[in-house]
Copies of this chain bind each other. A is one copy, B any other.
Amino acid sequence: MFNTTEIQTLVEALPYMRRFKGKTVVVKYGGNAMINEELKAKVIQDIIFLQCAGMRPVVVHGGGPEITAMLKRVGKQSAFVGGLRVTDEETVELAEMVLVGKLNTELVSILNRQGGKAIGLNGKDANLVVAKKRMSEVYENGEIKLVDIGFVGDVVSVNIELINSLLDLGYIPVIAPTGVGVDGETYNINADSVAGEIAGALKAEKLLLLTDVRGIYVDYRDESTFVSTLTFERAQELMIKGCIDGGMIPKVKACVTALSGGAAKTHIVDGRQPHTILMEIFTDAGIGTEVVKE
């Protein structure tokens, strides 16, 4: 039974629930929050809460470590070009199996056990994510060369009709980050990138990218340099200066993609904190780093 303080909390949630009613929220789910069982349970609760409170949550998940584990399990040796792993046909086949046949089904299953009506999707469903090969830029002898590193893709187009139909029917779409090429070939795509494209195409109210840091810093060693709001221009500048490191770059780019496409707000938030999704929604100030157009 709820006590007075708890009921008070519900009542304080009211303005936020009203504000986001009927709005689409895209959550990129990955990193620690996907591995730690306790955090995972809380992410699941958050997503179901969003739906229950009348929002339209869409989940895009990643899968890095699990794919690596699977490659190891079948004894697959990866080639590397300029420091980048080559995603040959066998690799992408295994990646798709892990993403679609393991991580996605598991996430769907947990959401449904908690009372959601989740449905798993991947890039091939009704051509949800059409992709093309991404060439890797390798610096060799002072020159930039484009090297084919296999079935790593960039999003060409997303088909949001299916996503919107499922949301209208009350389902929670859970999307594995694969894409399909014009010849039917499979592509492994960066999940942040997929989330950004989808959030943009859906004109989402919010894109939330869960990471393993608090947000963006000008200097990671100095907590005081934390950036709570980042403009396109400033993001560009920090990337050129090298202040935004490798793993964060696709996240910032995903925010830019989402905003350019039509999303209203984008946030890079700390997935190591429990209930970081609800924390972000139920606050005026916002948490983590918000990327804005200007």
Partner-binding segment picked from A13-21, A238-246, A255-263: A13-21
Residues of B within 8 A of A113 (CB): 183-184
A101 within 8 A of partner (CB): yes
Q: What distance in Å separates the Cβ of A103 from its nearest Cβ neighbour in chain B?
A: 9
Count of chain A residues with a beta carbon within 8 Å of a chain B beta carbon: 70
A80 within 8 A of partner (CB): no
A141 within 8 A of partner (CB): no
Among residues of B, the one whose C-beta sits closest to the C-beta of A110 is: B184
Q: What distance in Å separates the Cβ of A100 from its nearest Cβ neighbour in chain B?
A: 4
Residues of B within 8 A of A105 (CB): 96, 100, 122, 124, 178, 186
Chain A interface residues toward B at CB < 8 A = 1-2, 4, 6-15, 17-18, 21, 42, 45-46, 48-49, 52-54, 73-74, 93, 96-102, 104-105, 108-110, 112-113, 115, 117-122, 124-127, 162, 165, 169, 171, 178, 180, 183-184, 186, 274-275, 278-279, 282-285, 287
